[in-house]
Amino acid sequence: MNYTLHTATSLLSCFFALPACATGMFECEATEKSAWLTETQVTEKLTSDGWQVRRMKEDGGCWEVYGTTPEGQRVEVYVHPVSGEVLLINQRGTILYRKEG
Amino acid sequence: MRIRNILDSRAFLWTLLALPSVPMVLALVNGAAAEDGRPVTEFLLHPTGEFAARFMIISMIISPFRIMFPKNGFWIWMLRRRRYFGVAAFAYAAFHTVLYLIDMGSLQAVLGEFWAFGIWTGWLAFFIFLPMAITSNDASVRLLGRRWKPLQRTVYLAAIATLLHWMFVHNEFGPALVHFVPLALLEAYRIHKTFLSGSTQAAA
């Protein structure tokens, strides 16, 4: 339900502000850039938990990681840039996991 | 008029439709990963899918433009060649699907994400494309007779599935909407013209 609402608001914001239409998929709390984990640190953390990391980019103040879950699902993962905690797992448009709160 | 003959030839149109695939095939043969580290099979997923959608959209906007400009020679020319654009859309979609299967690497991985929203919508579009492409030849048109048109009209469902597939697999709505909003507006115009203006003289 939340996702439907998100979709609707994203669609609207894309219509009215195309250039500002970031993915808007997920946003992390504001953090100091200097405190961010490096790509290597994020990769190491996820890999040690059984994930495979293909690549990552910044999105919505998070690390957005493209990779594979320990179960072998191809996903996009939003990771907290400072703590490295997995906040959202999106498998090709279906939300597998979203951290509450 | 020699140039006119060339422009009107099938070979010219096929060449034009195949042109976007040249850099794609070269990249695939070269096999090098993209700058951001993506393997070439993953990198090519986007352009192949995008050209499939573009040629589908081109084949779909011909009728609305025919209604808008009934005497315009270009759209009459396009209408006669509409099947070519549809077949091209299918060819790029097939290329796209093959790349996806290679990129995923195993049947288990493919089936494992089949029901993800951004994936089954793509498969739906592909399997709607398939019978349309197979019947896009003169023999099928004759054979199917009055049933040919309803079969080709399933493209509207494929268009909706393609839009959803693009938006959700990419987790980004802007680029998909840039392509589909013009189509939606033209279809709205067409519906308005066909059903509300009292004129039943719809082209196509």
The pLDDT of residue A18 is 40
User: Is residue B106 included in any domain, yes or no?
Assistant: yes
Q: What is the CATH number of domain A27-98?
A: 3.10.450
Is the Cβ of B169 closer than 8 Å to some Cβ of chain A?
yes
Number of domains in chain B: 1
pLDDT above 50 for A16: no
The pLDDT of residue B129 is 98
Cβ within 8 Å, pair B36-A55: yes
* Domain residue limits at B183: 2-196
User: Is residue B131 included in any domain, yes or no?
Assistant: yes
Residue A24 pLDDT grade (very low, low, confident, very high; cuts 50, 70, 90):
low
Of B38, B113, B178, the CB nearest to A74: B113
Q: A91: distance to nearest CA of chain B, Å?
A: 6
Q: Each residue of B5-61: pLDDT tens digit?
A: 888 899 999 999 999 999 999 999 998 888 877 889 999 999 999 999 999 999 999
For all residues of chain B together, what is the average pLDDT? 93
Residues 6+ apart with CB under 8 A from B134: B140
- The domain ranges of chain A are 27-98
Residues of B whose CB is below 8 A from A74: 104, 109, 113
- Residue appearing with tokens 């279809």: B187
Q: What is the pTM of this model?
A: 0.85
Q: Each residue of A49-76: pLDDT tens digit?
A: 999 998 999 988 999 999 999 988 999 9
Nearest CA to B40 among B29, B51, B50, B49?
B29
Is the Cβ of B124 closer than 8 Å to some Cβ of chain A?
no
pLDDT above 70 for B148: yes
Distance CA B24, CA A72 (A): 28
